[in-house]
Amino acid sequence: MSSVLGVSLGAGAVRVARPQTANPADTPAFDSRGAHAFSGAPNPFGPGNDSGRGQRPFAGPDAFDIQAVPTGDRRVEELAADAIGALVAADPRIAATAISYRDEQHARALRAELARRQVTNYELVPDVIAALEFLEYSGDLAQHLPGPGFGTVALYDLGASGLSVTVLDTATRQICFSERTSDISGDYLDALIREQQIASGRIAHPEGHDGLIELDALCRTAKEQLSSSSAVALPSPEGLVLLSQENFEALIMLAVESSARMARDVILRSEQPVQAVAVIGGCAQIPLVARVLRRWLGVPVVVPSAPETVAARGAALLARPVQQRPAAAPFPAAADDLQLPPDPSPSWLAGPGAVEKFSRRREVSIAGVTVAALVVVAAIGVTLGWGPQVLQHDSQSSDAATTSPSATSTHPAATTTAAASPTTDVTNESLAAPPPRYDPTTTTTAPPPPGPNTITIIPGLPPVVVPTLPPLFPPAAPPGN
């Protein structure tokens, strides 16, 4: 037989709820959505079919095993993670765990603590959604709503650390408006009792921080007992805590009315027709709270049994194993698994000798271009009649350049430079064209002296002497011959 857990985190205690099944042989079933198959409960964050609500195989809304662990001086997220890890390790029958959270910061801190303890089979649900789930399951709101799964309710959650008022659409599970304040809280009411007892002279002011904490705990106990009795008398080392319910209500009246005014403002700002108000949290058991809310709001006020455990019991109803959730989209493959494209750089660019090889290829390419240019120039010269001079001049220049000793010293210098350069600059140097070589010792044919027939066809090349062509027709003979 499997089981589920519901966990709620409060400022004063961490509460764990485990529902009891009507038949010990029953095993909670889950459908393809991860929801309870016997309840038809939809995803808590969206609408769904509510026809099967209330048909769970649990013994009833009050049949829950509740465990409360006081926080003390520990962080509530750390305490909750320890409690969940211990329960899951001790009972392998626990198939799912749901934890209610107040806000995103609260959820992030809780995830970090659970990850540190390697707890994975859990899910987080908003505390207002968990509370609404239990209120619908218990039927506390059914008589005040227009129909099953329809209507708008306000949740008045007064706990140890503050007050939260939230307006919810029961059909869509959407939060219409929400507000939280720490001006009124359970701790604030405890402080009012403490100061009143010290001011009356029955209690001496405790010495030290530890004595103050003990007195606050005693005042909290008196507040809880006044929810069901007319007076309390609790002894302490500093004296007797003596308080009647009438005096207690007069002491907290202004604070409760302030909270009712805040709830009314939240409902007005939500612009929703609220059919009922549900009062939850530890301070919901104070009878004055419900009476003041009814007078200020003018709508039905519902106080469920054990209101401080509503969020934990609702989380248990929403618990589902993480294995039943839809599989998440796969992440991109890791960098080691990716097939990287081949390196676009040719293999001959790697290595110390790459510069020299590439320089030689560039030299051959430049030489080919030069020869082609000379062929074109020679063809033009033949056409104009000065081809022999150009070809003869180029032959002499080429011979002189080839036999020049400075030309043979170019490659050793380039090789030495390439070998001494860093490896990271090999590619850049190989892509750069070699600098032009200048040889001052190369002998060239002296250009012809300038004259009327000397013409420079291409700048940079020697001028060309155009031969004087004979006249096409001989001159006429002088008269008289």
Residue 471 domain-assigned (yes or no): no
208-255 pLDDT per residue, tens: 888 888 899 999 999 999 988 999 999 988 888 999 999 999 999 999
* 204/317 same-domain check: no
CATH number at residue 246: 3.30.420.40
Reply yes or no on whether the pLDDT at 415 is more than 50.
no
* 236/158 same-domain check: yes
Reply yes or no on whether the pLDDT at 324 is more than 90.
no
End-to-end CA distance of the chain: 148
CATH number at residue 43: 3.30.420
Q: According to the model, what pLDDT value does residue 180 have?
A: 95
Q: According to the model, what pLDDT value does residue 108 have?
A: 93
Q: According to the model, what pLDDT value does residue 398 have?
A: 42
pLDDT band at 1 (very low <50, low <70, confident <90, very high): low
Reply yes or no on whether the pLDDT at 343 is more than 50.
no
Burial group, residue 247, by CB count within 10 angstroms (0-12, 13-18, 19+): middle
For the segment 106-114, the average pLDDT, to the nearest whole number, is: 93
Q: According to the model, what pLDDT value does residue 71 have?
A: 87
* 179/319 same-domain check: no
For the segment 121-127, the average pLDDT, to the nearest whole number, is: 93
* 115/254 same-domain check: no
Residue 335 domain-assigned (yes or no): no
Residue 341 domain-assigned (yes or no): no
* 78/221 same-domain check: no
* Max avg pLDDT among 37-41, 200-204, 293-297: 293-297
Give the CB-side neighbour count of residue 102, counting CA atoms within 13 A: 19
Of 22 and 45, the structure prediction assigns the larger pLDDT to 22
Range of the domain at 293: 144-303
Residue 269 domain-assigned (yes or no): yes
Average pLDDT, the chain: 74
* 249/162 same-domain check: yes
* 112/55 same-domain check: yes
pLDDT band at 437 (very low <50, low <70, confident <90, very high): low
* 297/312 same-domain check: no
Is the four-CA dihedral 470, 471, 477, 478 of positive or negative sign?
Answer: negative
Reply yes or no on whether the pLDDT at 453 is more than 80.
no
For the segment 277-283, the average pLDDT, to the nearest whole number, is: 95
Residue 259 sits at φ, ψ, to 5 deg, of -70, -35
126-184 pLDDT per residue, tens: 999 999 999 999 988 888 877 666 789 999 999 999 999 999 999 999 999 999 999 99
Residue 281 domain-assigned (yes or no): yes
**CB-based contacts of 173, cutoff 8 Å, min separation 6:** 44, 45, 46, 47, 129, 132
**CB-based contacts of 180, cutoff 8 Å, min separation 6:** 162, 163, 164, 165
Of 137 and 445, the structure prediction assigns the larger pLDDT to 137
286-318 pLDDT per residue, tens: 999 999 999 999 999 999 999 999 999 999 999
pLDDT band at 17 (very low <50, low <70, confident <90, very high): very high
Q: According to the model, what pLDDT value does residue 209 have?
A: 85
For the segment 202-213, the average pLDDT, to the nearest whole number, is: 86
Q: According to the model, what pLDDT value does residue 410 have?
A: 42
* 152/283 same-domain check: yes
Are 117 and 24 spatial neighbours (Cβ–Cβ below 8 Å)? no
Listed as own residue / partner, the contacts of 303-307 with beta carbons closer than 8 Å and 24 or more positions apart are 303/278, 303/279, 304/61, 304/134, 304/135, 304/138, 304/140, 304/278, 304/280, 305/61, 305/62, 306/62, 306/66, 307/279, 307/280, 307/281, 307/282
354-366 pLDDT per residue, tens: 444 444 445 545 5
Reply yes or no on whether the pLDDT at 473 is more than 70.
no
Reply yes or no on whether the pLDDT at 342 is more than 70.
no
Q: How many domains does the chain have?
A: 3
For the segment 346-354, the average pLDDT, to the nearest whole number, is: 43
**CB-based contacts of 45, cutoff 8 Å, min separation 6:** 129, 173
Q: According to the model, what pLDDT value does residue 428 have?
A: 43
* 203/244 same-domain check: yes
- End position of a domain, from candidates 293, 326, 359: 326
Q: According to the model, what pLDDT value does residue 106 have?
A: 87
Are 355 and 426 spatial neighbours (Cβ–Cβ below 8 Å)? yes
The structure tokens 């320089």 sit at 359
Residue 400 domain-assigned (yes or no): yes
pLDDT band at 205 (very low <50, low <70, confident <90, very high): confident
Q: According to the model, what pLDDT value does residue 161 have?
A: 92
Can you read off the two tokens belonging to residue 217? 């705990």
* 149/135 same-domain check: no
Q: According to the model, what pLDDT value does residue 169 have?
A: 94
* 313/358 same-domain check: no
Burial group, residue 286, by CB count within 10 angstroms (0-12, 13-18, 19+): buried
Of 10 and 353, the structure prediction assigns the larger pLDDT to 10
190-200 pLDDT per residue, tens: 999 999 999 98
Of 423 and 284, the structure prediction assigns the larger pLDDT to 284
Residue 170 domain-assigned (yes or no): yes
Reply yes or no on whether the pLDDT at 20 is more than 60.
yes
Does the predicted TM-score (pTM) go above 0.85? no
Residue 41 domain-assigned (yes or no): yes
For the segment 115-120, the average pLDDT, to the nearest whole number, is: 90
